[in-house]
C-alpha cells in the first residue's frame, strides 16, 4: 500500500492499540464500531493509570502530589488547546460527557434567552445537541427550535434553508461538524458566517469529527466546540472550547464562590478527574507524532512544535481516510464497493468524487435482511462489529427509519479490513 501511511507505518500504528486485532476474550475481529467509541491508545491508558496512582490527591495544596495533580490538568488543557488550535488553555473546559457540556451551555445562556428567542439546528444532529433546546421550548424559555432540512438523497444539510431560519431573534445555532449517522461533513464556515451576520452564537458538536480530521476553532469561527475523549482514543469524558467573546454572556451554575469568568471552576462543577487530562495529553502527543517519518514515529520522537505537528498529523489522517472512503464506496481491485452491492441501501453522500464532503462513517440497510439479523451475521460469521439500531440522530426521524446499520473506519483500520467488510456485506446481500 502506498499513500499517507504505507504498510510498515500502518503496522506501527496498530501496535499502539492493544485490542486492534483481538478482543479481551481473544477473539480475532475487525473493529468498525468506532462511531460509538474508538479503540483505546495504550499510551493513554497507561498515562491515566499512572496519574490515578501518583496524583490521586486533590488540588490547591502545597505538597508535591497536589501540585503534580494541578500540572497534569494544566498540561491536558494545553494539549486540547493544541488539538483544536485554541488561543489558550484557559479556553478549554472539561465535562463528564458531551451531553453534559451541551446542557451546561444551554443552562448558562438562560440570561439571553426569552420567549421570543429561537434556536436553529438541523436534522443531521445527534440528539444530545438539540435536546437541551427542546427542554427550553417545553419550559417556554424559547419560542421554538427550528430544524434545517437535509437532502433526502444524500443527507447533506440544506444551508439555504438553514439560513432562512435564522433571524435577529436566533440566539444559538447548534450544528454537528460531521453527522454520526450519515457521515456527511458540515459546511461550518458558511454557517459561521450566517451566525455572525445575525449576532447568533455558534455551537459545534465535534464529537464524531474529532478523530477524523483537523479541528481548527479559529478557522471555523465558532463560540463553542465540544468533543468526547472516548471517541478519539481516550477514556470516557469530554472537552469544550469556549471563546473569550462569550465569557460575559454565559452565566453557568457553579459551586466555587470565588469563580470568575475565564476560570475553569466557572463552568466545571466539582473536582476534575486528573486521569482524563493525563490520557488526552498522551492522545494529542500521539497525533502529533503521526506527522513524522516512520523512523521518528517508531522511536516516539518529541516534536518541536506540537500544535503544528498536530495539524500535520490530522491532515495526514484525513488523506488516509479519503482512501478508506473511496475504497468503501467504490471497492478495490479485490471486491466491489457499497455502491455496487445489490440489496444495499446506503445513506449519506454516495459519490466517491465527493469524498472530501464526507467522513468514513457508512450507514445502510439491506433490502433482503433485517438489521438485527445482519448484525448477527456480521459478528458471528465474520467477526465484524457492524451495529444496527438507533444511533441517536435526528436523521432517523427525517427518513422515518428507526434503524440503520453503521460502520465507521478510523486511521488504524486497513484497506484489507475494508475488503473483508465489503466481502461480508456482499455475502449477506445474497441471503
> Can you give the pLDDT at residue 1?
44
- Using DSSP, state whether 203 is helix, strand or coil: strand
Q: What domains does the chain contain, in order, with CATH numbers?
A: 7-41+309-429 (3.90.1150.10), 48-281 (3.40.640.10)
Q: Three cell numbers at 284?
A: 494529542
DSSP states of 92-123 as a string?
A: EEEES-HHHHHHHHHHHTTTT--TT-EEEEET
* Cβ-based neighbours of 290, under 8 Å, separated by 6 or more: 13, 297, 312, 313, 314, 316, 317, 411
DSSP 130: T
Residues 338 and 364: beta-carbon distance below 8 Å: yes
- Using only the alpha carbons of the chain, give its radius of gyration: 22
pTM: 0.97
> Can you give the pLDDT at residue 3?
82
pLDDT in tens, the chain (431 residues): 468 999 999 999 999 999 999 999 999 999 999 999 999 999 999 999 999 999 999 998 999 999 999 999 999 999 999 999 999 999 999 999 999 999 999 999 999 999 999 999 999 999 999 999 999 999 999 999 999 999 999 999 999 999 999 999 999 999 999 999 999 999 999 999 999 999 999 999 999 999 999 999 999 999 999 999 999 999 999 999 999 999 989 998 888 888 888 888 888 998 999 999 999 999 999 999 999 999 999 998 889 999 999 999 999 999 999 999 999 999 999 999 999 999 999 999 999 999 999 999 999 999 999 999 999 999 999 999 999 999 999 999 999 999 999 999 999 999 999 999 999 999 999 99
Residue 174 CA to residue 172 CA, distance in Å, equals: 6
Q: Three cell numbers at 86?
A: 485554541
> Can you give the pLDDT at residue 257?
83
Residues 168 and 118: beta-carbon distance below 8 Å: no
Alpha-carbon separation of residue 212 from 129, 145, 171 (angstroms): 19, 29, 29
Q: Three cell numbers at 219?
A: 478557522
DSSP 363: E
* Cβ-based neighbours of 197, under 8 Å, separated by 6 or more: none
* Cβ-based neighbours of 9, under 8 Å, separated by 6 or more: 294, 297
Amino acid at each position: 500500500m502506498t499513500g499517507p501511511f504505507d504498510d510498515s507505518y500502518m503496522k506501527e500504528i496498530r501496535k499502539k492499540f492493544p485490542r486492534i486485532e483481538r478482543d479481551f476474550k481473544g477473539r480475532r475481529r475487525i473493529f468498525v464500531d468506532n462511531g460509538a467509541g474508538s479503540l483505546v491508545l495504550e499510551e493513554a491508558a497507561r498515562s491515566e493509570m499512572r496519574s490515578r496512582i501518583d496524583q490521586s490527591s486533590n488540588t490547591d495544596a502545597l505538597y508535591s502530589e497536589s501540585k503534580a495533580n494541578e500540572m497534569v490538568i494544566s498540561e491536558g488543557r494545553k494539549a486540547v488547546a493544541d488539538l483544536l488550535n485554541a488561543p489558550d488553555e484557559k479556553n478549554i473546559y472539561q465535562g463528564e460527557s458531551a451531553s453534559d457540556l451541551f446542557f451546561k451551555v444551554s443552562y448558562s445562556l438562560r440570561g439571553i434567552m426569552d420567549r421570543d428567542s429561537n434556536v436553529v439546528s438541523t436534522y443531521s444532529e445527534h440528539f444530545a445537541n438539540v435536546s437541551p433546546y427542546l427542554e427550553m421550548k417545553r419550559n417556554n424559555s424559547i419560542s421554538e427550535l427550528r430544524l434545517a432540512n437535509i437532502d433526502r438523497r444524500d443527507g447533506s444539510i440544506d444551508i439555504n434553508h438553514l439560513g432562512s431560519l435564522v433571524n435577529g431573534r436566533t440566539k444559538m445555532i447548534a450544528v454537528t461538524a460531521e453527522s454520526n449517522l450519515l457521515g456527511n461533513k458540515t459546511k461550518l464556515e458558511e454557517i459561521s458566517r450566517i451566525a455572525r451576520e445575525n449576532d447568533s452564537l455558534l455551537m459545534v458538536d465535534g464529537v464524531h469529527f474529532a478523530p477524523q480530521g483537523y479541528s481548527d476553532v479559529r478557522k471555523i469561527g465558532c463560540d463553542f466546540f465540544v468533543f468526547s475523549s472516548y471517541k478519539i482514543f481516550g477514556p470516557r469524558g469530554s472537552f469544550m472550547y469556549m471563546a473569550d467573546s462569550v465569557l460575559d454572556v454565559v452565566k453557568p451554575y457553579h459551586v466555587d464562590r470565588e469563580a470568575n469568568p475565564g476560570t475553569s471552576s466557572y463552568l466545571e462543577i466539582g473536582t476534575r478527574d486528573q486521569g482524563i487530562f493525563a490520557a488526552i495529553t498522551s492522545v494529542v502527543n500521539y497525533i502529533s507524532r503521526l506527522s513524522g517519518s516512520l523512523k521518528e514515529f517508531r522511536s516516539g520522537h518529541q516534536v518541536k512544535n506540537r500544535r503544528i505537528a498536530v495539524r500535520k498529523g490530522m491532515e495526514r489522517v484525513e488523506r488516509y481516510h479519503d482512501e478508506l472512503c473511496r475504497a468503501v464506496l467504490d471497492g478495490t481491485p479485490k471486491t466491489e464497493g457499497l455502491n455496487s452491492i445489490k440489496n444495499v441501501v446506503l445513506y449519506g453522500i454516495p459519490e466517491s468524487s465527493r469524498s472530501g464532503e464526507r467522513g468514513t462513517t457508512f450507514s445502510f440497510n439491506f433490502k433482503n435482511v433485517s438489521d438485527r439479523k445482519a448484525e448477527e451475521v456480521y459478528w458471528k460469521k465474520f467477526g465484524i462489529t457492524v451495529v444496527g439500531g438507533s444511533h441517536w440522530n435526528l436523521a432517523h426521524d427525517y427518513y422515518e427509519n428507526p434503524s440503520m446499520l453503521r460502520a465507521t473506519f478510523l486511521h488504524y483500520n486497513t484497506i484489507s479490513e475494508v475488503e473483508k467488510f465489503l466481502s461480508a456485506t456482499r455475502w449477506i446481500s445474497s441471503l
